[in-house]
C-alpha cells in the first residue's frame, strides 16, 4: 500500500453475527477482476487491502487467482500485519465440481495456503459449466435445469466439509425463494449466508426478507452495480446505479463518489457488501464507508425508490437446451423451471 492511505482499525468495522455465532466483517474485498485485471494486480490489491484494515476477502475457484491471492495472504501474515484467525476468507465451489466438492475445496485451500475456509458457498445452484471468458451466446449442451436431488447431493458434500473441519460455515449463492423452499427442509446443516446480487437498482426485497427470516445472512455482490462487468453480462436496458439521481444527490451531500453511497446503503440495510477494486483510494473509501457518515432515515427511504429490478448478472451462459430465457434461472413466478419450460 502506498503510505499516503491511512489504516482503518479493523475492530471499528462492523461485523454481523451468523447463526453459528461466527462474526463476519460487513465489508469484504471482492476478487473477481471482470476479466480486466491480472491475477497479480488482484493479489496486490488483497495485500494493500489487508494492510489498510480489510479482514474479509471474497474468493472463488472460478476467478482463477487463488494461488496469487494465497501468496499475498502469506506475505502479510509473515510480515505480522495479520494472523490467519483475524481473517475471514470465503471460497466457492464452481459449477463443474458439484460431484467432487471436497476435492475442489482442498485444491482451493492448497492454492490459498490456508487450512480452512471461514465460509464456503455453492457458487451457482446448477452444475452447468461454461468456460472462463464465455460469450453471452455460449451454451453447454450438457446444461440442465435445477434439480433438488442434484443440489442436495452437492449440499451433503458441503455438510461433510464442516464435519471434516475444512470449512467453518457453509452457504449458498444465486438461490431463489422457490429453490430454498425445496431444499432447506432437507438440509442437516443450514446455510449461514446467501451471496446474491444486491445494489440500489436491484434490491431484491422479497428474497432479502425471506433469507433474513430464515437467519441466512445476505451478502450482496456487485454492490456498486458492477460498472466494469464483462460484455457477456451487459444488456441495453441495464440500469447504472452510480448515475441514479438519488445516489448522486446523497454523494454530493457527503462529498463522496456515488459508489460509496451504494456501499453505505447496503451496510445500513443489513447486508454484507463485497466491493471489488484494485485501486487503493477506492478500497480505502469503500472500507471507510462502514465507519463514518450514515445515510439519514429519509435518504434510506429515498434509496428504496432507486430499485428498478435491474438484474445485471443474469446467468444466461448457464441456460439449458429448451430454456426460454435467462428468467428461467430465477423462478420469477415462484416455480422452479423444468427441462421443458412451461413459461
Q: Which residues bind ligand NAP (CB under 6 A)?
A: 30-32, 34, 58, 123, 173-174, 195, 221-229, 257, 259-260, 274-277, 279, 282, 285-286, 313
User: Least distance in Å: CB of 80 to ligand NAP?
Assistant: 27
User: Least distance in Å: CB of 309 to ligand NAP?
Assistant: 17
- Comparing CB distances to ligand NAP, the nearer of 7 and 339 is 7
330-337's contacts with Cβ under 8 Å and 24+ in sequence apart are 330/176, 331/176, 331/177, 331/178, 331/179, 334/177, 334/178, 335/178, 336/145, 336/146, 336/176, 336/178, 336/179, 336/182, 337/145, 337/146
Closest residue (Cβ) to ligand NAP?
A: 30
Catalytic pick among 37, 63, 120, 129: 63
**Phi and psi torsions of 81, nearest 5°:** -70, -35
- Comparing CB distances to ligand NAP, the nearer of 138 and 163 is 138
- Comparing CB distances to ligand NAP, the nearer of 98 and 123 is 123
User: Least distance in Å: CB of 54 to ligand NAP?
Assistant: 13
- Comparing CB distances to ligand NAP, the nearer of 210 and 276 is 276
Q: Is the distance from CB of 83 to CB of 77 less than 8 angstroms? A: yes
User: Least distance in Å: CB of 286 to ligand NAP?
Assistant: 5
Residue length of the chain: 343
Based on C-alpha coordinates, what's the Rg of the chain? 19
CA neighbor of 227 nearest in space, from 159, 312, 103: 312
37 in active site: no
Q: Is the distance from CB of 33 to CB of 42 less than 8 angstroms? A: yes
Could you write out the DSSP letters of every residue in 64-98? S-HHHHHHHHHHHHHTTS--GGG-EEEEEE-GGGT
d(CA 60, CA 90): 8
User: Least distance in Å: CB of 342 to ligand NAP?
Assistant: 26
- Comparing CB distances to ligand NAP, the nearer of 78 and 308 is 308
- Comparing CB distances to ligand NAP, the nearer of 259 and 337 is 259
Residue corresponding to grid cell 429519509: 298
CA neighbor of 169 nearest in space, from 198, 151, 195: 195
User: Least distance in Å: CB of 161 to ligand NAP?
Assistant: 18
d(CA 39, CA 325): 33
Angle at 155 between CA 215 and CA 184, to 5 degrees: 40
Active site residues: 63
Amino acid at each position: 500500500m502506498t503510505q499516503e492511505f491511512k489504516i482503518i482499525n479493523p475492530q471499528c468495522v462492523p461485523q454481523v453475527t451468523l447463526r453459528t455465532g461466527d462474526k463476519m466483517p460487513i465489508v469484504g474485498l471482492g476478487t473477481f477482476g471482470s476479466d480486466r485485471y491480472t491475477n497479480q494486480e488482484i493479489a496486490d490489491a488483497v495485500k494493500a487491502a489487508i494492510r489498510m484494515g480489510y479482514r474479509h476477502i471474497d474468493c472463488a475457484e472460478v476467478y482463477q487467482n487463488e494461488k496469487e491471492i494465497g501468496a499475498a495472504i502469506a506475505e502479510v501474515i509473515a510480515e505480522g500485519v495479520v494472523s490467519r484467525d483475524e481473517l475471514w476468507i470465503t471460497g466457492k465451489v464452481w459449477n463443474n465440481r458439484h460431484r467432487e466438492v471436497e476435492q475442489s475445496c482442498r485444491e482451493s485451500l492448497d492454492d490459498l495456503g490456508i487450512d480452512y475456509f471461514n465460509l464456503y458457498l455453492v457458487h451457482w445452484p446448477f452444475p452447468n459449466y461454461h468456460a472462463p471468458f464465455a460469450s453471452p451466446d455460449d451454451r453447454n449442451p450438457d446444461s440442465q435445469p435445477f434439480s433438488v436431488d442434484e443440489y442436495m447431493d452437492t449440499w451433503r458434500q458441503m455438510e461433510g466439509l464442516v464435519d471434516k473441519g475444512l470449512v467453518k460455515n457453509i452457504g449458498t449463492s444465486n438461490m431463489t425463494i422457490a429453490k430454498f423452499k425445496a431444499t432447506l427442509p432437507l438440509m442437516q446443516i443450514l446455510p449461514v449466508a446467501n451471496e446474491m446480487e444486491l445494489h440500489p437498482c436491484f434490491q431484491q426485497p422479497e428474497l432479502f426478507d425471506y433469507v433474513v427470516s430464515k437467519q441466512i445472512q445476505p451478502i450482496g455482490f456487485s454492490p456498486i452495480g458492477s460498472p466494469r462487468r464483462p460484455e457477456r453480462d451487459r444488456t441495453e436496458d441495464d440500469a447504472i446505479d452510480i448515475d441514479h439521481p438519488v445516489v448522486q444527490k446523497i454523494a454530493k451531500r457527503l462529498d463522496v463518489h456515488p459508489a460509496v453511497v451504494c456501499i453505505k446503503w447496503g451496510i445500513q440495510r443489513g447486508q454484507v457488501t463485497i466491493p471489488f477494486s484494485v485501486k487503493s483510494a477506492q478500497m480505502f473509501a469503500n472500507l471507510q464507508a462502514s465507519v463514518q457518515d450514515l445515510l439519514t432515515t429519509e435518504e434510506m427511504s429515498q434509496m428504496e425508490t432507486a430499485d428498478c429490478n435491474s438484474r445485471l448478472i443474469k446467468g444466461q451462459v448457464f441456460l439449458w437446451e429448451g430454456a426460454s430465457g435467462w428468467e428461467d434461472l430465477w423462478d420469477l413466478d415462484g416455480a422452479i423451471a423444468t427441462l421443458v419450460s412451461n413459461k
